[in-house]
Amino acid sequence: MNKIEFIEKVSTKTGASIKEVELVFQKLIEHIIVALRDGEKVFLSNFGTFLPKITKATKRYSALLGKEIEIPEKFTVRFSPSSKLAKEINIKYAAEEPKILKPGSEREIEKKISIISPEMEKERVTEAEMGPEEISLEEEKVGLFDFEGEVSDELSIGEEILSSIDSTEKDAEKGLLEELKISEKDFTTKNEEVTKMPDKGTEKPKFTFGEDLTSGSVGSGSYTPPPNLSSMTSSDLIRREGSPALWITLVLLFLGIIGVGIYWALSTDVTQIKKEPVIERKKETAPPVVVEKRPVSPDQKKIIIAPDEFAQTPSESELKEKRGMIIEQPETEKVEEKATKSQDLTKKETTTTSKLISTVEPKKTPIKRKVVKERVASTRKAQAQGDFYIQVSSTKDEKFALSFARNLRNKGYRSFVESANVPEFGLMYRVKVGYYLNETDLEKDYHNLRLLLKREDIYVNRK
Partner 1 sequence: MTKDDLKKIISSETNLTQKKVEEIIECILDTIIEVVKVDGSITFNNFGKFERKFKKEKRGINPQTGDLVLLPPKEVFIFKPSKNIFKTEE
Which whole-number Å values give the CA distances from 303 to 32, 274, 350, 357, 360, in the listed order? 103, 45, 19, 11, 11
Q: Smallest distance, Å, CB 57 to partner 1?
A: 16
Contacts of 430 (CB under 8 A, 6+ apart): 391, 393, 394, 401, 417, 418, 419, 420
C-beta of residue 386 within 8 angstroms of C-beta of residue 436: yes
Q: Using the 8-state DSSP alphabet, how is residue 454 labeled?
A: T
Q: How far is the CB of 65 from partner 1 (least distance, A)?
A: 23
CB of 41 to partner 1, least distance (A): 7
Closest CA to 397 of 429, 431, 432: 429
Give 40 or 138: the residue with its C-beta nearer to partner 1.
40
Identify the bridge partners of residue 54 per DSSP, sorted by sequence position: 75
CB of 114 to partner 1, least distance (A): 13
Compare residues 15 and 277 and give the one whose CB is closer to partner 1. 15
Encoded amino acid at 407, one letter: N
CB of 52 to partner 1, least distance (A): 9
Least distance to partner 1 from the beta carbon of 260, Å? 57
Q: How far is the CB of 103 from partner 1 (least distance, A)?
A: 5
Any residues with CB less than 8 A from the CB of 182 and at least 6 apart, and which?
A: none
Nearest CB to partner 1, comparing residues 25 and 223 = 25
The residue among 85 and 327 lying less far from partner 1, judged by its C-beta, is 85
Residue placing its CB nearer to partner 1 in the complex, 53 or 281: 53
Distances (CA, A) of 140 to 8, 143, 193, 225: 98, 5, 17, 20
Q: Is the dihedral of CA 210, 211, 214, 217 positive or negative?
A: negative
Nearer to partner 1, 76 or 249 (CB): 76
List residues near partner 1 by CB under 8 A.
Answer: 1, 3, 6, 9-10, 13-14, 16, 20-21, 23-25, 27-29, 31-33, 35-37, 40-48, 50, 75-77, 79, 81, 85-86, 88-90, 92-93, 96-108, 111
Distance CA 283, CA 286 (A): 5
Which is nearer to partner 1, 13 or 170 (by Cβ)?
A: 13
Bridge partner list, 81: 48
